[in-house]
Amino acid sequence: MDAAVVFFMDQVEEVSVVVFMDQVEEVSVVVFMDQVEEVSVVVFMDQVEEVSVVVFMDQVEEVSVVVFMDQVEEVN
């Protein structure tokens, strides 16, 4: 399973992805924007291979990745 969110925008207050699942291969958030206050990914799962957040922007206050899981191979 692949869960991805791609945002192209100028202003955004919060971009969040919350995933509740048992097995997932990749969870990614790619953000292209000028101003953002918070970009967060919260993952609750048992097995995951990769969790990544890629942010291309000028101003950002907070970028966070919170992972609650048993097994993980890579966290970017």
| Amino acid 55: pLDDT | 61
SS3 letters for 29-43?
EEEECCEEEEEEEEE
Nearest residue to 13 via CA among 43, 39, 41: 39
What is the average pLDDT across 9-35? Answer: 64
Q: Is the pTM of this model over 0.95?
A: no
- Give the span between the Cα atoms of 26 and 33, in whole angstroms: 22
Residue ranges of domains in the chain: 2-71
Q: What is the pLDDT of residues 23-47, one digit of tens each?
A: 666 666 666 666 667 666 666 666 6
The strand ranges marked E within 1-76 are 2-8, 11-20, 23-32, 35-44, 47-56, 59-68, 71-75
Banded model confidence at residue 58, pLDDT cuts 50, 70, 90: low
